[in-house]
A and B are shown apart, each in its own frame.
Chain A
């Protein structure tokens, strides 16, 4: 082993609540190179790097810094070893100035002198470092007044001034414009040329092709391969990133004849500051599952919120054919029309955790008078219906119907949501990442329900960041990028072409 390895991880694994985020991951980055860590959302890139930064403790495997074995007790210790990570969500104190924020972070470096003097010295250091790497930052500016790109530069200055030699950037270009991203990546390439090790966590193919010296591809918690990006074709990189169809999970066959249009979305646009949705059009027909694929953060959550009636500032039309605009309907009207919503945040948006399972089930029908008039609640009727639904939808782990819904595991909570939403035959199903975090059996149960709804003539919209899921379920697939549907595919669809649309669109 040569002395040029900055970081070496071998056989690292990490489990969160029974979900294996990392399984036997191996990674080596050398001094003087920009090393990209490429993969889809949830591939385990951030988890792996959080282990290097000392935020998570690994469950197995070993970590070498500069070819010495180390065990990190926390982020402070990682910083002492020269590891600096710029997180996707910045850790800055907004009312403070740039200099104050950087001074805060220098705790592990012994500096003496009066506060005023230290602050002045830090200010000088910031100016010097900023000039050297070509950042235009006023050390006396308050963080709250800076743009996102400027805040990111502050984060980079922060780790550099704390003495980082190994720089980890977690999705640094996600929040930047093209120009800003180019400037940033050119700068970090400069660090590598001066001998530092730069690790670039990203899901953008372009970043990798243009700036990385090496790329390690991750998929489902495993490091798939490490190679030089110019040694392979883009198609090969995409194939490694999105993978082949997992065995035993074939794509939806296609060839179905969809029914009448049911939901027509036209020119949906975010009216807030960030253009999360930027003129999205789509038509959803009865008797089909329309899958929305795409890299996370391209407006999927905003679309789901707008359609499900979760507050979201949008303009444009979301027309239920023959009924009117979805935005004008209150919850009761939505129920009457047979609109079923399965939000991504099942504990936060779909269930009332502290209420009982029976109460959660009854919430959907409480207005109908089925469980008594407003001054009297027929708990016996509620419990009878809930018991029937729990049995029919196979909700496991129910010791009593009076047990709190929050105590249900992810998969069973999701089954309870579906049991309630499907208690009347739905006309339109809106599902956002319905199988996220569920095990294989629960996932299959959820999918079976969605297919059954479609076969009964409902229009089903499936928004998922998991391409496998979309491929397996959808009759038609729309690829979402930068707030719009940029490509549509009918089954049988070409996985490579979808992957390309997901990452290559500008």
Chain B
């Protein structure tokens, strides 16, 4: 009984990092840039958030600094894929490994590791919080409640504004966008930085608000799950939000199982994210529904051709 209540109650906290990271990836990938660096950028956000809190003592400042830090690091990725046109898959992987090293180094050098932070108080949404079974679902910190708002704004910006239309055009057919006078690389740069800032926020949520401390490599594969989630959701933000809840639900189950006395190897827990990612990829490939919703130019660098 209490197991189920707390399982449901814990789900949002596990779902939020997936949701924010997936949204960030969707924004970047809608511009035609394949973003695999989420795992690394989440770590940057996570360590920067803790570092900023320990320095300034403000949770809001910590979250903003985390977004800025991830945005700044993503400039490196943008330089590689937009200017130097290095393979986007390789650039993404390199970014992950680089960020793993960078965040471990920074956290250790600055002495941020294992320093607890207070996080944010939980707010009960009365009267929903009084419901039986699901009541605890509606006792969350402020950022959790902001997630649907962020999604609303992002979906509106992508589908209901001129810059959003241009961004999607750049991701679908950069040649046509170029002929229409749209600065292709400028839009891609903006999409990378904004998307990365959201991914950074996802990382900071884990460290500052959920675990409430920094440990090296603490995202433990969640960035990869977000990558799988985007494919699973076919680049639709709402489906990604639903998928994030599902994945959050699965992840929230693991500590509950442990609490109920079922013995789970910690290595199995470590493996789970990658196994889930692999499973989603295979499922999508086996379902064989043509990926019409994938941005047409995803992963293709843009080069203006003099002669057609």
Binding site for B on A (CB under 8 A): 16, 56, 74-76, 79, 87, 89, 91-96, 100-101, 103-105, 107-108, 115-116, 118
> Given A100-B165, A103-B162, A115-B162, are A95 and B296 neighbors across the interface (CB < 8 Å)?
yes
| Contact indicator per residue, chain B 269-308, by CB within 8 Å of chain A (1) or not (0) | 0000000000000000000000010001000000000111
> Given A93-B169, A94-B296, A96-B172, are A104 and B177 neighbors across the interface (CB < 8 Å)?
yes
> Given A16-B307, A75-B179, A108-B181, are A94 and B172 neighbors across the interface (CB < 8 Å)?
yes
The closest CB in chain B to the CB of A88 belongs to B308
How far is A291 from B168 in the complex, measured between Cα atoms in Å?
48
B125 on the interface (CB 8 Å rule)? no
Provide the residues of chain B in CB contact with A87, threshold 8 Å: 308
The closest CB in chain A to the CB of B176 belongs to A91
How far is A481 from B243 in the complex, measured between Cα atoms in Å?
55
> Given A100-B165, A104-B166, A115-B162, are A91 and B179 neighbors across the interface (CB < 8 Å)?
yes
Main secondary structure of the interface of A (DSSP, over half): loop
Provide the residues of chain B in CB contact with A76, threshold 8 Å: 181
Contact across chains for B162 and A94 when beta carbons are under 8 A apart: no
| Contact indicator per residue, chain B 147-167, by CB within 8 Å of chain A (1) or not (0) | 000000000000011101110
Nearest-Cβ distance from residue A447 to partner chain B, whole angstroms: 26
How far is A107 from B165 in the complex, measured between Cα atoms in Å?
12
Q: How big is the B interface, by class?
A: 20 to 34
Q: List 29 A-B contacts (CB under 8 A).
A: A16-B307, A75-B179, A79-B181, A87-B308, A91-B175, A91-B176, A91-B179, A91-B180, A93-B169, A93-B172, A93-B176, A93-B296, A95-B172, A95-B292, A96-B169, A96-B172, A100-B165, A103-B162, A104-B165, A104-B166, A104-B177, A104-B180, A105-B179, A105-B181, A107-B181, A108-B181, A115-B162, A115-B165, A116-B160
How far is A172 from B160 in the complex, measured between Cα atoms in Å?
34
How far is A105 from B308 in the complex, measured between Cα atoms in Å?
20
Contact across chains for B306 and A56 when beta carbons are under 8 A apart: yes
Known: A93-B296, A105-B180. 10 other contacts (CB 8 A): A75-B179, A95-B296, A96-B169, A101-B176, A104-B176, A104-B182, A107-B180, A108-B181, A115-B165, A118-B162
Nearest-Cβ distance from residue B136 to partner chain A, whole angstroms: 39
Provide the residues of chain A in CB contact with B129, threshold 8 Å: none
Contact across chains for A103 and B173 when beta carbons are under 8 A apart: no
Among the listed B162, B164, B168, B181, which residue makes an inter-chain contact with A75, where contact means beta carbons less than 8 Å apart? Answer: B181
Contact across chains for A92 and B165 when beta carbons are under 8 A apart: no
For the complex of A and B, list the 10 residue pairs with the smallest distance between their C-beta atoms, beginning with the closest.
A91-B176, A76-B181, A105-B180, A91-B179, A93-B173, A93-B172, A107-B181, A104-B180, A115-B161, A93-B169
Provide the residues of chain A in CB contact with B175, threshold 8 Å: 91
> Given A16-B307, A56-B306, A89-B308, are A115 and B160 neighbors across the interface (CB < 8 Å)?
yes
Main secondary structure of the interface of B (DSSP, over half): helix
Give the number of residue pairs across the A-B interface with Cβ within 8 Å.
59
The closest CB in chain A to the CB of B306 belongs to A56
The closest CB in chain A to the CB of B183 belongs to A107
How far is A16 from B176 in the complex, measured between Cα atoms in Å?
23
Provide the residues of chain A in CB contact with B181, threshold 8 Å: 74-76, 79, 105, 107-108
Contact across chains for A94 and B306 when beta carbons are under 8 A apart: no
Nearest-Cβ distance from residue B187 to partner chain A, whole angstroms: 12
Provide the residues of chain B in CB contact with A56, threshold 8 Å: 306-307
How far is A104 from B168 in the complex, measured between Cα atoms in Å?
10
Provide the residues of chain A in CB contact with B177, threshold 8 Å: 93, 104
How far is A347 from B181 in the complex, measured between Cα atoms in Å?
32
Provide the residues of chain A in CB contact with B168, threshold 8 Å: 93, 96
Nearest-Cβ distance from residue A123 to partner chain B, whole angstroms: 14
Provide the residues of chain B in CB contact with A94, threshold 8 Å: 172-173, 296
Provide the residues of chain A in CB contact with B296, threshold 8 Å: 93-95
Provide the residues of chain B in CB contact with A101, threshold 8 Å: 176
**Counting chain A CB atoms within 10 Å of each CB, which of B181, B182, B296, B306 scores highest?**
B181
> Given A91-B179, A95-B296, are A104 and B169 neighbors across the interface (CB < 8 Å)?
yes
Contact across chains for B179 and A103 when beta carbons are under 8 A apart: no
Provide the residues of chain B in CB contact with A16, threshold 8 Å: 307
Nearest-Cβ distance from residue B207 to partner chain A, whole angstroms: 37
How far is A118 from B168 in the complex, measured between Cα atoms in Å?
17
How far is A38 from B13 in the complex, measured between Cα atoms in Å?
68
| Contact indicator per residue, chain B 12-40, by CB within 8 Å of chain A (1) or not (0) | 00000000000000000000000000000
